[in-house]
Amino acid sequence: MISNSALARFRWKSLGLWLLLALALPAATPARGEPADAEALRQQAVSQYIDGATRELEAFGQKISAASRPDNQQECGEARAKLDACTALVAELKTADPGQFDQVKARYERTRDELVRALQAAQKK
């Protein structure tokens, strides 16, 4: 048989455990601020993508200049035109809202692929 004092201690410990759980549970649940955190992460990813694309376009510009010779001016001109189109799309990415970003990004990537093919043609000639 349990004495009254042991039963009282058990009840206080149980009450303390329940209070601890009740106070800890809200801390374990997602906060209302998480959508803002998700938005901040999205903005960071967008910024990193744009920075990477900008650096990549600078490198393409250098490669086009290095590949330029009197006998491949047409091919280099096509590559420069694609580079200009990519630069315009990166500028559009900077101002695109979340609903437009993926569409503009897809157009940028297609145009970048065309730029790569045009640069390769200039380098081969």
| Residue 117, amino acid | R
Sequence-ordered list of residues with C-beta below 8 angstroms from that of 94, at least 6 positions apart, any chain:
50
In angstroms, the CA 121 to CA 78 distance is 10
What is the domain partition of the chain in residue ranges?
A: 40-124
Token pair for 36: 């803002």
Each of the 125 residues of the chain gets a pLDDT tens digit; together they read: 556 565 555 555 555 555 555 666 555 555 555 666 888 999 999 999 999 999 999 999 999 999 999 999 999 999 999 999 999 999 999 999 999 999 999 999 999 999 999 999 999 97
- Asked whether the beta carbons of 79 and 64 are under 8 A apart, the reply is yes
In angstroms, the CA 90 to CA 56 distance is 11
